[in-house]
Structure 1
Amino acid sequence: MAKGIADVVKGIRLKDSEEGWQLRFPGPVCAVTRHVSVDGRTAIAFPGERPEKGGKEEAALVAPCDRIAVFDIDTGRKLWDKKLLGPSGSAMSVNVTMTRGAVLATTGQASVAYDMTSGECLWADTASSNCTDMGFAGGRSLIALVQCGDSADPVFRVRKVAPRAGRPVWTYKVADGIKGVHLASSSPPVIAVAAGEVRSTTLITLSDRGKAAGHDPSGGRPLRTRLRRGLQR
């Protein structure tokens, strides 16, 4: 497994929990994906330049998160790294994921996809718009969280996206008045929404066509589920 600590990623051998390799970056690692390809590739985002002097926590927050890299989790060998297209995002706004031979990132102002093997840019969306990709969920499929309108009263949409083409397959409009949305799963598509509260309170499962599923065929129970408070931490 790989473990990020400040500006270093360490490879930990599962058989004995010993360190196998280190991969160092100019600044603190600012975004990771939990996914690993079948041949051991995974991706992270990091600052391309070393932050100015300051505490590590402060540097992690202010350093521009402007590069993405893919490395071999077994050997620690960096396979490629690229500068993210569009305006540089902060550590809090960048999101990285992987699916079906593609590595994807969004900075809160731009979205981009790269070929997992070569690092070639597959597509990018850097145009100014009333709607912005806020994050991706990858794995077996790819869904995107889109926020439109005024940040004080946002409208959220969830889209299934063709990862290597960037085109939307379907779009689900989240109900008005929702304060926030979290992408819990891409396959099946599951979202957690903050309905009337700041924290997530409800899980909604979507069908393969992007429709809110009404009932679980196996048990007949609604798939719109109220989260227990103990699960919100």
Structure 2
Amino acid sequence: MTQPPPPPPNQPPQQPGFGPPQPPLPPAPQPGYGYPGRPPAPQPGYGYPQQPQPAQPQQPGYGYPAQPAAANPYAQQPGYGYPGGPAAPAPAPAGGRNNAALFIIVAAVVVIALIVGGGIWYSKSSSGGGKKDDTTNSGTGGKGGGGGSEEVPADPASRVLFQVPLPTADDTTVTAGSWLTDKVYAKTGVARIVGYDPDSGAELWTVPLPGPVCYATGHVSTDGRTAVVFQPKMPPKGSSAGCTQVAAIDLNAGRRLWTRTVKSGDVPVNFNDVTVAQQTVAVGGTSGGAAFDLASGKVRWQPKPTDTCYDAGYGGGPKLVAVRRCGSGDTAQLHIQTIDPVSGKVISEYEMTSGIPYASVVSTDPLVVAADVNDSAGDGSGFSDVFSVDNTTGKLRTRISTPGSAYAARCDGIYQVEKCQGVVVGNGRLYLATEEHDGGGGLARTNEIVAFDLATGKQTGQRADAGDNYTITPLRMDGPNVIAYKNPPYDKGAQVVSIDGGSFKETKLLENPATAEVRAVETALSPTTAEVLYARGHLYLSAVYAHAAGSSLSAKEYLVTAFGAGG
């Protein structure tokens, strides 16, 4: 299986991911978005008979007010052991970043300008002069009413716009990464990134890579630029060539702007995390982190040899947040730092209680962090508690208990700091999907999205019901509104809805055809196993893995399926 390389020997063993158990594999960082190992087999659509669920009387009911959050952080919890790990925490630097080892930044600039299908997409705006453009999640929409930008179509019924067949590979290979700009829908393939016309699917450009993508950020700068980490060559079957290459991609122009590697001595450093914040690309991992200018690839900061802590990963977008790890075992401590994207200077810092070994950044502005405290989620979700932190002072605003038996959010804080699903932040609130539970009667199953106030930690009473045999997942914010995806019953098509941030009224933006072919795609490419983007009446479902021919039970598999409203 083609996958990123294992962590250094002094790092903890890989924790179980969310999803079905996988065959034993050599320990390795998780490849891209999605599950470890091969993707799980498609499951029956919602609405089929389900096994009775065990009662959880000790947990708060779905949509009911939660218990008040405690005023102070948790007392010390036992953590995962880190034999041979870093020494005791060191003070945060007053200036630029510090990390675990002295790295030598090696510039290997590769600029590619391919003219494919009649021309290059050129960016409308420039990033020159160090301008700190806002960075947004891929998939923001056009102008509309109701406080958000997404327009309500006259007819939400959709049709299939185009489909891209799933490429085959010698081994299971990561295809993580999908982005949408005003000009192009771009998707990672096997050792390449391809730009497609958002409506027709016609190939506009191809950016070839020497090896498979390992990790991709969902953040895109306002001038259409993003970043990926990839392998330097195609690895032999069942191995990895290392996730050592960092590159910036101009999505509108269809070219690789630059490529960089980082070395510790003579050894290339493996990264398992990448993000974009304003005009900075930041990469992190168990050997530490580094940052580059998005436009030029110029080094913004690099590790220093005197540090005993390391930046495990970063959250990007409007602000840059580092998850910094100091110490080992039960004394390990995470420092959640808001940092200046250009200098790396620490602006504010929140020290999590010792013994919480991993954390995920749900949002950088406002700052919201999730963690599985004392492995209490019980479901491998990495999500048992949420910490709302003041970006300016670094002080904890509130802590929210989100037990895994009640809530369906999942994060991979072990390797990819920003990889969370089923939770979004906006309007000073945390919007969270609940776990499935019994619906209106019979064998019906359903769930909701509920809201928590980030200042008080209490539920607001707002609740968006999926409806019988649907399950609802928040995708992103659209101004004050929440864009959500509804996975359907076996005899219906999926829906995309906009949830009003005030009234919580649901407005249907798109509904897919209720055909067997479409349902097969929706089952294989659900929000829990695939990448889902919605904007301007377009829905894109895309796979995060390719595999060897004949290794799937499905007759037809797709890398991308695009739907458009007004069918």
Normalised to the residue count of structure 1, the TM-score between the two structures is 0.84
Q: What's the counterpart of residue 178 of structure 1?
A: 356
Verify the 8 A CA contact 2:215 2:272 in the aligned structure 1.
yes
Q: Partner of 1:88 in structure 2?
A: 268
Indicate which of 206, 215, 224 corresponds to 2:400: 224
| Aligned equivalent of 1:12 | 196
Shift, 1:203, TM fit: 1.1
Cα pair 1:85 1:124 within 8 Å, conserved: no
- Written as runs of structure 1 = structure 2, the 5 A alignment for 1:106-185 is 106-127=284-305, 129-151=307-329, 154-185=332-363
Corresponding position: 1:101 with 2:279: yes
Q: Is the 8 A contact 1:114 1:121 kept in 2?
A: yes
Q: Deviations over 1:45-84 (max 9, x none)?
A: 1122442x21xxx34xx22111111121123211111223
1:40 aligns with 224
Spell out structure 1 runs of 4+ moving beyond 4 A. Answer: none
Secondary structure of 2:287's counterpart equals coil
Aligned CA-pair RMSD: 2.1
Q: In structure 1, give the amino acid aligned to 2:205.
A: W
Alpha-carbon distance in 2 for matches of 1:177, 1:152: 5
Encode CA deviations 1:150-180: one digit per residue, 9 max, x unaligned. Answer: 1565221111111110111121111123242
1:12-91 pair list within 5 angstroms: 12-51=196-235, 53-54=236-237, 58-59=238-239, 62-86=240-264, 87-90=267-270
Q: How far apart, CA to CA, are the structure 2 residues paired with 1:48 and 1:128?
A: 29
CA contact (8 A) 1:104 1:112 kept: yes
Question: 1:193 aligned to 364, 371, 377, which one?
Answer: 371
1:85–1:112 CA contact under 8 A, matched in 2 = no
Equivalent pair of 1:110/1:127 in contact (CA under 8 Å): no
12-21 or 158-167, larger mean C-alpha shift: 12-21
Distance 1:88 1:125 in 2: 14
Structure 1 pair 150–177 and aligned structure 2 pair: CA distance change class (3 A): closer
Matched residue SS, 1:230: coil
Distance 2:329 2:258 in 1: 35
Which residue does the alignment assign to 2:10?
A: none
Instruction: Give the partner amino acid of 1:65.
Output: C
Larger strand proportion, structure 1 or 2? 1
For residues 189-229 of structure 1, give each alpha carbon's deviation from its aligned partner in whole angstroms, at most 9, with x where no partner exists: 11001112153111111112211113xxxxxxxx5242533
1:203 is the counterpart of 2:386: yes
Secondary structure (helix, strand or coil) at the match of 1:63 reads coil
Query: Which AA in structure 2 matches 1:88?
Result: P
| Equivalent pair of 1:11/1:21 in contact (CA under 8 Å) | yes
- Shift of the 21–3 alpha-carbon distance from structure 1 to 2, 3 Å rule, reads same
* Helix, strand or coil at the partner of 2:408: helix
- Where 1:196 maps in the other structure, the secondary structure is helix
- Contact 1:109/1:126, CA 8 A, preserved across alignment: no
Question: Which position in structure 1 is the counterpart of 2:90?
Answer: none
| CA–CA distance in structure 2, aligned partners of residues 104 and 158 of structure 1 | 15
The whole-number CA distance in structure 2 between the counterparts of 1:225 and 1:138 is 24
User: Larger Cα Rg: Structure 1 or Structure 2?
Assistant: 2
1:103–1:32 CA distance, 2 compared to 1 (3 A) = same
CA-CA distance at 1:126 after TM superposition: 4.7
In 1, Cα distance between the equivalents of 2:364 and 2:204?
Answer: 32
Deviation larger for 10-19 or 102-111: 10-19
Query: In the superposition, relative to structure 1, how do residues 152 and 20 fare at CA in structure 2: closer, same or farther (>3 Å)?
Result: farther
**Pair 20,205 (structure 1): closer, same or farther in 2 beyond 3 Å:** same
Tell me how many residue pairs correspond in the alignment.
217
Paired residues of 1:9 and 1:24 also in contact (CA < 8 A) = yes
Higher relative contact order (CA 8 A, sep 6+): 2
Contact 2:224 2:251 in 1 (8 A): yes
Residues 45, 65 of structure 1: 8 Å contact kept: yes
Identity %: 26
Measure the CA separation in 1 of the matches of 2:321 and 2:400. 19
Which secondary structure does the structure 2 equivalent of 1:178 belong to?
coil
Contact 1:32 1:45 in 2 (8 A): yes
Report the AA paired with residue 157 of structure 1.
H
**Contact 2:229-2:247 within 8 A present in 1 as well:** yes
Gaps of 5+ in 2: 1-184, 411-527, 529-567
